[in-house]
Each structure stands twice: as structure tokens, then as C-alpha cells.
Amino acid sequence: MTSELLQQVRAIDPSSETDQVVDVWIENGVIRAIETAISESSEDLPAETTVRDRQGCILAPGLVDLYSHSGEPGRESNETLASLQAAAAAGGFTRVAILPDTHPVIDRPEIVARITHRTPFHYPQLLAWGALTLGTRGEQLTEMAELVTAGIVGFSDGTAIEDLLLLRRQLEYAQPFGQPIAIWPYSKRLANRGTAREGSDSLRFGLPGDPAMSETALIAAAIECIADLGRNDSSITAHFMRVSTARGVELIDRAKQRGLNITASTPWTHLLLSTRNLGSYDPNLHLSPPLGPPADRDALAAAVASGTIDAIAIDHTPIAYEDKTVPFSESPPGAIGLELALSLLWQEFVESGQWSPLVLWRSLSLNPARCLQIDPPRLEVGAPAELVLFDPVRTWTPGSHSLQSKSSNTSWIDRQMSGRVLQIYYPLD
């Protein structure tokens, strides 16, 4: 039996919109009590209860990542399922949804089982997106019913939209299953191999420009597909992933005002960085979609605060050192983030007063779970203890040998930061 009393911890729960300093008693993986003060001599507490003073620390529901990449199967040198889970736990995530671009692709029930059932640890829980097309090649649709039976959380190829007719068919065929369909509204043809959002900074740094319309034109087209298909059926649940432009935010906002059943997310990196950071030519800043100007970054931050952007996604993309250390525009796009996002977002937005802690936790825990249509972790009496304990002032320095991920492709390597996850609590099986 395990019993722990956390004294004077700051308890944050976006589900109930509560933010208060309390004592929390956790026993056998269940939250037993949340009170202003719980006496150590209480008759309810077992004699073997561990009492911890947690003044200044945050206790909140575990974080939920909407989409990230796994090296395993196929690229275990970049990341294994075990190292992915360790990185997620170190960053406060209790659930991570894996995109289907593994090798082999998550387009068959046995690959779903490999991701969700054959991991070395039960927590953090790994969930699987099922591919919309075989091999994510954008040609032949998968056996969707089989993937649903296997336990996927939704459908996505996780790749750029190249064929709007195929998108319409994907939405039509996936509609009866009632699961979210994650769409990346991005045109490689319009992007034309750009590695920075087109503008004054891309010109100044001599980087190939990617126009904003490579995203916005596809958001507008996808919205029209959804609106047309949803006229007689509101069961379509579409999620726009990797929204990165101010104009994209406007289009999402208007679509929601029209009553379309859509959700949207933005990568955590695009809330913290902009094209102004590209002067270093650090290949770890080569992302897809590319970083945009400060106006895009500011619009995304405001959209998270207002709820127009429902969730912040990590899009953790582990890439081996030798593959990433090449000239900026030649490097594969992507960066890791599971261990870093909470600390850096807290420091940037909560410490500065731009967001409340509830906004941050809503975007990293409650809303990602809602987008996936799964029950979110909660900090309430009687709920399973799926929680994260976070010290917002503890300093630490991520290093290539101290990170839990097998890859270290991040621009924050060897840079001291504030905010550290102390512990993850999991429900008992």
C-alpha cells in the first residue's frame, strides 16, 4: 500500500477551473482528499503515510500530447518506445499520441498493438494515430474499421495535404467511426522547399521563403470540405494540426463561429520562437511548418489564451546528431520537446503574466484529451492520481547526456532554464 500527503501544494485543475493552495492525500493511486489542511494525526491517514512539504510546487493533471513521433519501430537509433516514455515522464506527460509515420507505418492492427501494448512500461501511456492511407502515401485508404477495433485514437497521415479530392474521401469514409481526423493543412508545392516563413527575415538571412498561403490556402479548402460534408451530418470531427500563421488563426476562428465541429493545435516551438531567431542558422530551428515572423507568434499565443487554438502539441521529432548537423536548409525538419515544453512555456507565458496557469494546463492537458475524445486527467477527490508535481523555480540544464530522449536536437541544449518536473503520479493497475 502507498499513501502520501502533499502539504500546501498549489493545486491546479482546468476541468474545475480551480487554482488553490491545499493539502492533497493520495493513496494507492487514487486522490483521497483535497482540503485546506489535513492533519498528520488524522485517523483517516494510514500510519505509514509519507508526509511531504510541497510549498511553492504545482500539483496538476498529467499532460497529454496530441501528436509526436516515435523512432521505434524502424528508427530505434533516434528514439525507442522506452526512451520516448522516459522523456515524456521527465516532462510531465502521462499520455502521448504517436503519429503513424513509423517503419512500418501504423496502418495495420498489429502495428497499433506494438505501440500501445508492447511497451516496457505501462505509463506514460502511449496512444496511436491510425494512418488514413496505406504507408501514409496518400493513395489507397486503410482498413479503417480494423484500426478502430485495434484501439487507435483517431486517423491521420500526419503529412501535408496534396490532393483535396482524396481529403474529401478520407473525411467521408472516416465519418461513420466518429473519431477525430487530424489534418495538416500544408501544401509542399506552394511551400516550394522554403525553410523560413516568407518575409523580411527570410530575405535578410538568405533562407528560402515559404509563403503563409502554403498553410492558409489549405485551411480554407479543408474548411469548405468539412462544411460541405457536414451539412447533413455533424459527426465529422476534424482537427487542424500545426497551425502556425496569424491568418490561419483567423480562418479557424471564423470556422468555429460558423459552428463547424473542428479543433486546432499549434506546435509549442512556434509560441516561443520566430524568424528573428534564425540568424544563428541552427539546424535545430529548421521546423515544419517553418517558423514565422513575431506577428504570427503573437497571434498564436493570443489564440491559445482565447481558446481559438484548443491545444498545444509537442510534435516531438527525434533526429540523430549526424543527420541534423548539416547546413540549415539541408537538415531534416523537427526538434524534440517532451522534456522541455512545460518548463519553457511556464517561464515565457505564466511567469510573465500573459497566461494564467489554468490556460497553460488547459492547453497541455484538458483540451488535448478532449481533441482526442478521451477522458482527461483530473485533480479531484476520487479520481485516479494521474498527476504531475512541478517546481516552477528549480533550475536545470538540458544536456545531450542528461536528457532522457535518445536524440538531442533542440536549440535549448546546454541552456539553463527554470521549472522542473519532480514526480509523476500514475493510477495503479
CA atoms within 13 A of residue 120's CA, in its CB half-sphere: 8
Task: Examine the residue annotation and report whether 414 is marked as an active-site residue of this protein.
Answer: no
Residues 367 and 377: their CA atoms lie apart, in Å, by 11
Angle, vertex CA 341, rays to CA 336 and CA 347, nearest 5: 140
Residues 247 and 251: their CA atoms lie apart, in Å, by 6
Residue with cell 500545426: 242
* AA letter at 91: G
Contact 427, 29 (CB under 8 A): yes
Q: Given 13, 101, 201, 315, which residue is catalytic?
A: 315
The continuous run of DSSP H or E covering 266 comes out as strand 262-267
Contact 157, 100 (CB under 8 A): yes
Residues 47 and 115: their CA atoms lie apart, in Å, by 40
Which residues, 6 or more positions from 93, have their beta carbon under 8 angstroms from its beta carbon? 62, 63, 64, 65, 124, 314, 338
Give the residue numbers marked as catalytic.
Answer: 315
